[in-house]
Structure 1
């Protein structure tokens, strides 16, 4: 049986896709103990830069992950190839381009859509959800970079519910710990395992595993 493929996608830039991809990958590897691969199809290469920093920090053989890159239609082939040897394959996609994201979404078992709690992000998300629907791939929203202003969060959660989009109950806060951990090639699960950010990620991973 092949592994499960999760594609992190969002047409709007600045949603935190790469940070979410890295944290999902490390979280799945740590919580399930299964082999995990990450696939970067974003030409910006931010995930590759993070992985290189991870190799330097932990050692090339101690990253706990397998990393590959692909572009365009090669993403679907590479993802399915990785899924033969890994329990999970996590794909980071570029924003604002249906052409590059489409093969990665087509290959996925689930599309994970990060969304910041603003009306603009919710409007932009509809494009990604529609793209997933066209590929007959289920999609789920993850509230990301949630500020401590509860009123806005509740308002956006209600708007998301009215949109009919499925969303995880767990949310990731707007915490500097996420960016700080990424800068050293790690995640909050490794830099502050007992912190609030790590608890958020662990809850998200448990929910995702349940969905899969």
Structure 2
């Protein structure tokens, strides 16, 4: 089986791509039936810092730094069945390189106009690949949502989405467990917030249901 490449993307910083990449990769790794690698394509190195902070003996995926566009050419040589890529913000050359190799692009947006507007650059890259006959599955993934805010409800409703891409039904909540796990070098599967774990599980179930994983 060839490697499946899942990229978490958005040109805007601060949307939570690293947090989602870390927890999705950890969830897949803990299943134990496939080899999973977390690729840190961000020169800022958040995923690497997270892994360096991990306590001994935690069941976490390996992190590989491929933080320049030309380095991504070595991705197929990694001993993995699934690669989850954490991408940088404001790095069009890297984003274009990631889109070229990705099977799945999850465009991460927070419930804000700024995130929606910033996603247009990533959407353009994905559509460019499709326009020349390439294949990539793409969907929006709403992060840091709150059920109590009007903006979150509007984003969930999807009326803003004029890009022609799917939006995952699962919205990941604005939970302190995600920030805590990132700081402690662990995942939400190591903490007590059952809802945070369930949300990551639901994201993966949606990807599997669509035949993307």
Structure with the higher helix share, 1 or 2? 1
Per-residue deviation at 1:47? 0.6
Q: Unaligned stretches of 5+ in structure 2?
A: 131-135
Asked whether 1:94 is paired with 2:79, we answer: no
Asked whether 1:179 is paired with 2:179, we answer: yes
5 Å matches for 1:20-39? 20-31=20-31, 33-39=33-39
Q: Check the 8 A contact 1:141/1:168 in 2, yes or no.
A: yes
Q: Which residue of 2 aligns with 1:58?
A: 56
Q: Check the 8 A contact 1:10/1:95 in 2, yes or no.
A: yes
Structure 1's consecutive aligned runs of 4 or more residues displaced over 4 angstroms after TM superposition are none
Q: Check the 8 A contact 2:147/2:153 in 1, yes or no.
A: no
Q: 1:73 to 1:48 in 2, by over 3 A?
A: same
Which is worse superposed, 164-173 or 41-50?
164-173
Q: Check the 8 A contact 1:119/1:156 in 2, yes or no.
A: no
Asked whether 1:197 is paired with 2:196, we answer: yes
Q: Which residue of 1 aligns with 2:64?
A: 68
Matched residue count: 205
Q: Unaligned stretches of 5+ in structure 1?
A: none
Per-residue deviation at 1:3? 1.7
d(CA) in 2 for partners of 1:45, 1:168? 27
